Amino acid sequence: MWNSIIKNLELIVYFFKNELKSIFTDAGAVLLFMVALVIYPLLYSVAYQKEVIRDIPVAVVDLDHTALSRQAARMADASEQLMVAYKPISLKEAENLFYEGKVKGVVLIPNHFEKDVLSGKQSNMVVYSDASYFLLYKQVYAGAVYSVGTLSGGIEIKRMLAEGKSVKQAFDQQEPLKVQSRFLYNPSGGYGSFVLPGIVILILQQTMLIGIGMLGGTSREKNMFHIIHDKVNEKWGSIPVILGKSFAYIFIYLFNALFTMVILHNWLNFPDNMNFMHTVLLLIPFLFATAFMGLSISVFFRERVYSLLFMVFLSPVVLFLSGLSWPASAIPKGLYAAAHLFPSTTMIPAYIRMRISGATINQVSGDWLFLTIQMIIYFVIACIVYKLAMKKFTKASIGNE
């Protein structure tokens, strides 16, 4: 018994070393397993570095030309979201500026604006914004509403002061119910803080799957299955092969995870409330499940390029179905259930709850259990698939003889 255990451990070490050698002697694998894990997160980080879109150029069309209309334009310019870049004399001119891409929105102050306000009538400021670009639309709209609301509140307070009310009474009447809003876990409301943690998980998964597929395709191209053929055909022989190979990938990806999930995250000052050991406990079954999944499908790629085509095609689908770019509650239940074939679908929300919201491993125990079961299932599938693939290879070899 002990001899069998020692022999299997030696086989695991052998395949571990052999797979590491295959990775480091394959330029494509090195590019995916190491270089891409540095470049992709850095590119996303630089792109989302500003976190919130500020000072969006807009055009203000002032048709009233009064002191109050000029004050409204100044308040729009003073808001965090907007920057008054142009003051065209007509809506048509502002429209041309918009289509030329010089402004992202137009604020129209109508005729008789001051007269209507001072006489107690309701007046309207019109905001035109491009709703095809939701982030810009949201900021232009929010900036306009904020500046108009502040201006309106100031006018109302002045009117109540003129009626003889105290400053406190005026403020209390103007805003009888004061709302205080706080951004939990993402104080800046930044897009980068929201999207990058999930993107990192997807990058880890997809690069590992593509890399494993490439190595499997290379083995088929170069007819290298004979290296593991005899070992796999022994009883339980596929187990040390799968474990040895997967340990090689996990060994590399632990360093990748350290860079992307710790060093890069802290360097960019993203919200961080995680317990490190709890996060590692969640990360381990995710990485192993991904490695076993990659090994399960790698035997089907006859050429390395097929893995690239297949996995790159799947990447946008996996991103969408993960619930990161579109709420999971809005995805059809059957489709979202199918998305759980990929470990990232479970890992992303669990990781974000732990990393950003400060959840413990006990609070995501259901996700951890699902990933652990998924890891075991993919391990069994990988062993069976490798066994069947080696039998097919044996028959093919006998036929060729």
Compute the average pLDDT of residues 169-193: 70
Q: Are strands 82-86 and 126-129 parallel, antiparallel or unpaired?
A: unpaired
| 245-254: average pLDDT | 91
Residue 237: what pLDDT?
Answer: 67
What's the rounded mean pLDDT across residues 107-121?
A: 83
pLDDT at 379 over 90: yes
Give, for 58, the enclosing helix (H) or strand (E): strand 56-62
Q: What is the pLDDT of residue 394?
A: 58
Give the tens place of pLDDT for each residue, 19-37. Answer: 888 888 888 888 888 888 7
Kindly list the domain boundaries of the chain, sorted by start residue.
Answer: 2-49+189-400, 56-174
Neighbours of 268 (CB within 10 A): 18
- 96 or 329, which is more confident? 96
| pLDDT of 395 over the 60 cut | no
Answer whether residue 226 shows pLDDT above 80: no
Q: Which of 17-26, 205-214, 225-234, 245-254 is the least confident region?
A: 225-234
What local confidence, expressed as pLDDT, does residue 248 receive? Answer: 92
Rounded percentage of the chain residues whose pLDDT exceeds 70: 88
Q: Which of 1-10, 58-67, 225-234, 261-270 has the highest mean pLDDT?
A: 58-67
Provide the pLDDT for residue 367: 92
Looking at mean pLDDT, say which of 178-182, 186-190, 376-380 comes out highest: 376-380
Q: Place 235 in a pLDDT band, splitting at 50, 70 and 90.
A: low
Rounded CA Rg of the chain: 30
For residues 94 and 226, which has the higher predicted lDDT (pLDDT)?
94
Say if residues 328 and 212 touch (Cβ distance below 8 Å).
Answer: no
Q: pLDDT band at 374, cuts 50/70/90?
A: very high
pLDDT band at 51 (very low <50, low <70, confident <90, very high): confident
1 has a pLDDT exceeding 90: no
Query: Using CA atoms, how far apart are residues 28 and 30, in angstroms rounded to an integer?
Result: 5
At 314 the pLDDT is 79
Report residue 339: phi and psi, to 5°. -65, -20
Q: What is the mean pLDDT of the chain?
A: 81
Burial of residue 210 (CB within 10 Å: 0-12, 13-18, 19+) is buried
Q: What is the CATH code of the structural domain delimited by 56-174? A: 3.40.1710.10
Distance CA 345, CA 72 (A): 47
CA 223 to chain centre: 38
Q: What is the mean pLDDT of residues 329-335?
A: 84
